[in-house]
A and B are shown apart, each in its own frame.
Chain A
Amino acid sequence: MCANCGFPLAQEHWTDAGARSGFERLRGRLLRAQLLAPVLAAYGLGVYDDGTGPSFTLSTRTGSHVLVGDLGELWTQAERLAGRAIDPLDQRFAADEGQPG
């Protein structure tokens, strides 16, 4: 159990595999938060990870915050906060360069 957030000790999510050390794992987390920021900004969401909590913190423009345990949970919570589905293959991400999207 994490003393700060009350999260139970997380089981390793499959996306956490492949790191050689805690440092690399942290680096992967921070890099993912950086990549997620523009993706989620398009849905009006902010994402924050300073490496101390269990994983990401999602926030809305009206000030709601949600802690998520891993990337599996992140998408469920992000969709709930955004109020719509987040599909990596929709026009926003998968549109042809020439097409509006």
Chain B
Amino acid sequence: MSGPHGRLRLAVLAGFLGAGKSTWLRHALHQGGFGGALVLVNEAASASVDDVLLGRATGLEVLDGGCACCAGRGALVASLRRICDRRLRGAPIARLVLETSGLADPAAITQAIAEDPVLQHHILVEETIVIVDALHGLAQLREEPLSRRQIAAADRIVVSKLDGAGRPAVARLVATLCATNPAARLAGSIMGSEVPLPESPGVAPEVWVDEARSSEAGAPASPGEPRPPPIAEALDPGGPDSWPALSLWLSALIHARGDDIVRIKGVVRTPRGPLLLQSVRKVVQAPEILPEGPQTEQARLVVIGRGFTRAQLLRSLQRFAGG
């Protein structure tokens, strides 16, 4: 399935080391998900083992010799350009799945694509799927800032190895995931098969101090000041005439508050039609014009972040729009 404007759709599969990314992907491919996808596997280590497991993909390429979000970024961009080139020459590549290394920040990969002058016109990051280990996920979230960045960038979070952890531990993990990224869809999985997550009403999420922020401010991390969890606010983006003002305001908001804004995602109306807009932190993906349909009739914009209130967002937008 390629987009209405021909961009190749890419799903980014991320998750901490050993979370179960390959198992989940192998099962998804086996079930016919990602039909006709070319799978690109990135390994942080220079020798790859996953490609042996993923035998059922339509096509498979291995990117080894470095994590695609940092050391191997050039190799990733070069490889994606080659794939786009092959597709333009008629190769039957319907979509692309990138299985990142366990050390990759998916937002950095989205950024690499959004900033590349060629790829931004040829690839649309359709979904970021993050796999979290039911047993070790909470400890990783607590100890590894990278794990938290992965969760924050997710559109869909899959809690894997549900059979390996006790119910209270899973409930606490789920509550923490919801608090960290309130907009992501959550699912559970055992050996790649989808299973329902246990209900966890009333379970308190774990909170932690963000070391990066504390060290930036020059103060040592003190356990008494946990960061507030992000809030998700849905705004009405207005009609096509509102787009110039809305985009102006969003550009200012992302510039000033990009580090506090986890995600902005939504469908806004423009003169050319519904526009899919999404950003992770300070990076906005090249927007995509969507076909008119029931899914795009309702314009909506969700801002997920911390350090502000809904009322502040609304008043600020109104003042930027000349109100």
Contacts and interface: CB of A to CB of B under 8 A. Distances in A.
Nearest to B277: A14
Contacts of A27: 244
A77 to B, nearest CB: 11
A85 B248 contact: no
Interface of A is mostly: helix
B251 A15 contact: yes
Interface in B203-249: 240, 243-245, 247-249
Given A14-B286, A35-B244, A94-B311, 8 more contacts: A18-B268, A18-B275, A28-B243, A28-B244, A75-B256, A88-B252, A88-B320, A94-B308
A71 B120 contact: no
A75 B284 CA distance: 15
B319 interface: yes
Interface of B: 117, 120, 240, 243-245, 247-253, 255-257, 268, 270-272, 275, 277, 284-287, 289, 307-308, 311-313, 315-316, 319-322
A73 to B, nearest CB: 10
B267 to A, nearest CB: 12
A92 B317 CA distance: 12
A36 B313 CA distance: 17
Contacts of B307: 89
A38 to B, nearest CB: 8
A84 B248 CA distance: 19
Nearest to B315: A94
A11 B117 contact: yes
A19 B319 contact: no
Contacts, number: 101
B105 to A, nearest CB: 21
A51 interface: no
A38 B315 CA distance: 15
Interface string A78-101: 000000011111000111100000
Contacts of A14: 247, 277, 284-287
B271 A88 contact: no
A12 to B, nearest CB: 7
Given A32-B248, A75-B255, A89 B285 contact: no
A85 B256 contact: yes
Contacts of B308: 89, 94
A35 B286 contact: no
